[in-house]
Chain A
Amino acid sequence: MRRTLSVGSLILSATLAASSIAAAPTIVGKDAPDFVLRGLDGRNLRLSEFRGQVVLVNFWTRSDGDSRQQMPALDRINITYQRAGLVVLGVSVDDDLRRSKEFAAAMGVSYPILFDTGSQIGKDYMLQKMPMTILVDRAGVVRYSAVGFKRGDERVYLDQIRELLRE
């Protein structure tokens, strides 16, 4: 009887674990879906053209407070590591393109800001909560993904970036 109960609890816990994994799909370990988007300066940028470099893609929205905090931190990372082969791309997923452009211009970050006006990229990257930050290695594979931002997270990004740059 006890044995049956323990087996049952094991199956239940395994099912719960599987359902929690299924609830949070991730693209880590998969090839980063390619995209081409128009930037704030009018140039179009394609993700796959940065193959061979480590790419940090930051999806953000104007209305999100965490995104506002994160952008200056990413700017500092970009300034420090761009010579080492890091590319930082900010991708706005705001619906209001005009206001999003104004916001991006006001933030004055040194890395390119792109504007996603469709819905395909959101689906491809399984965007959930904003901001979402992903790290793509030199081979174009998503290696890390982080949702949200709190003070101190930039140190985690730095460790991951250094690891990928060393590869």
Chain B
Amino acid sequence: MNLKHRIASIMVCGALLSPAWMAMGDTPPPATAPAAAPAANTSPASGNAADAPAPPAPDAPSGELKTLDQEVQGLKKDVVDLNKDLFVLQEELLFPANTQVALYISMDVGTFFALDAVTVKIDNKEVKNYLYTAREADALLKGGVQQIYLGNLKVGKHELVAFFTGKGPVERDYKRGASINFDKGVGAKYLELKITDRVPKHQPEFLIKDWE
């Protein structure tokens, strides 16, 4: 599906969903709703008895509630899907694949290094300076991979330098750099900053991996 079709479909979805949301509200039906529903249904009809609806089955209100809940859940899912599509679309528009460069960071073990900050330079220009909170560093230690930078680069040769600041072995201030020369082709470029432990030397190791 091309970009125009996707934009059109997302707009149509949004237009269809918005009145439904306005009518239903954002909150799910309250748990006390069934108590009111039977009372309304079982009240004596003031008009013609023949026109009055048949008394509902005992499980009808809960069934209606279930249907309503399913509808709400369905709408919520549609909104989440729509949001996902919009996010992907935004990424495609802002960072087209032919110029896209994405940089990720991961950390393995981390016995010899407590990450505090990362500074990234591409072609000698600072593109990112990221301070890590204890919670974020902990998430990396638990196996998380963070997208630290997403940008655009022209096709050709480039140099990336990353500086890592933190606490090294024996709680000493530690600053190290790593660099890589890479070729940006017509497709997206993915690079990974890897912090690992070099156990024999009791030192951390900083690598930059080029994901082809």
Which A residues are within 8 Å of any B CB, using their own CB? 36-38, 43-46, 49
Which B residues are within 8 Å of any A CB, using their own CB? 116-117, 131-136
> Could you tell me the distance in whole angstroms from the C-beta of A148 to the nearest C-beta in chain B?
30
- Tell me the complex Cα distance, A135–B90, Å: 32
- Tell me the complex Cα distance, A38–B131, Å: 8
Nearest-neighbor residue (CB-CB) of B132 within chain A: A44
CB contacts (< 8 Å) of A38 on chain B: these are: 131
List 15 other contacts, CB 8 Å, given A36-B133, A46-B136.
A36-B131, A37-B131, A38-B131, A43-B133, A43-B134, A44-B116, A44-B117, A44-B132, A44-B133, A44-B134, A45-B133, A46-B133, A46-B135, A49-B133, A49-B135
- Tell me the complex Cα distance, A38–B129, Å: 13
CB contacts (< 8 Å) of B116 on chain A: these are: 44
Q: Which 9 A-B pairs have the closest CB atoms?
A: A44-B131, A36-B131, A46-B133, A44-B133, A49-B135, A49-B133, A44-B132, A45-B133, A38-B131
> Could you tell me the distance in whole angstroms from the C-beta of A143 to the nearest C-beta in chain B?
21
CB contacts (< 8 Å) of B133 on chain A: these are: 36, 43-46, 49
CB contacts (< 8 Å) of A46 on chain B: these are: 133, 135-136
CB contacts (< 8 Å) of A44 on chain B: these are: 116-117, 131-134
Nearest-neighbor residue (CB-CB) of B167 within chain A: A42
Question: Could you jot down 6 A-B contacts, CB within 8 Å?
Answer: A36-B133, A37-B131, A38-B131, A43-B134, A45-B133, A46-B136
Nearest-neighbor residue (CB-CB) of A35 within chain B: B131
> Could you tell me the distance in whole angstroms from the C-beta of B141 to the nearest C-beta in chain A?
15
Nearest-neighbor residue (CB-CB) of B173 within chain A: A42
Nearest-neighbor residue (CB-CB) of A37 within chain B: B131
CB contacts (< 8 Å) of A36 on chain B: these are: 131, 133
- Tell me the complex Cα distance, A36–B136, Å: 11
> Could you tell me the distance in whole angstroms from the C-beta of A88 to the nearest C-beta in chain B?
17
- Tell me the complex Cα distance, A71–B39, Å: 59
- Tell me the complex Cα distance, A45–B131, Å: 9
CB contacts (< 8 Å) of B136 on chain A: these are: 46
CB contacts (< 8 Å) of A37 on chain B: these are: 131
- Tell me the complex Cα distance, A37–B130, Å: 10
- Tell me the complex Cα distance, A36–B116, Å: 12
- Tell me the complex Cα distance, A154–B117, Å: 36
Nearest-neighbor residue (CB-CB) of A46 within chain B: B133
- Tell me the complex Cα distance, A153–B55, Å: 63
Nearest-neighbor residue (CB-CB) of A42 within chain B: B116
CB contacts (< 8 Å) of B131 on chain A: these are: 36-38, 44
CB contacts (< 8 Å) of B135 on chain A: these are: 46, 49
- Tell me the complex Cα distance, A108–B190, Å: 46
CB contacts (< 8 Å) of A43 on chain B: these are: 133-134
> Could you tell me the distance in whole angstroms from the C-beta of A92 to the nearest C-beta in chain B?
16
Nearest-neighbor residue (CB-CB) of A118 within chain B: B129
- Tell me the complex Cα distance, A45–B27, Å: 33
